[in-house]
Amino acid sequence: MLDIERLQALVIDALEDVKATDIRVLDVVEKSSFTDVLVIASGNTSRQVRALANSVVVKAKEAGVNVVGVEGEQEGEWALVDLGDVVVHVMQPSIRIFYNLEKLWGDDSPQASQDQQA
């Protein structure tokens, strides 16, 4: 079993191997009960989104990491790879802008703003 830092590095390497763009890592351990880290990346086409998600799955399995689930890879607009402690979102840019997960889960999130006021 890989620790979170190694798992995160494995995910980033897998995404970089298939030329993901705008890779962001969000520590959500204080905001989420389902995972500790979100990795968000963009792929320019549905084919690239599928290839990016597949690269993460293949590298995770090669490292002995349990892949909890994969969703959305058929459509190729937004794929999610659940590795337990790390959840990976791969999206086409227009989908990423629309859902804006960085704002939802990052330091600008409404929850973070409430926590800072308290």
- CATH architecture assigned to 4-110: 2-Layer Sandwich (3.30)
86-91 and 37-42 strand pairing: parallel
Residue-wise pLDDT for 79-112, tens only, equals 999 999 899 999 999 999 998 877 765 555 444 3
What residue segments make up the domains of the chain, in order of their start? Answer: 4-110
Low-confidence ranges of the chain (pLDDT < 50): 109-118
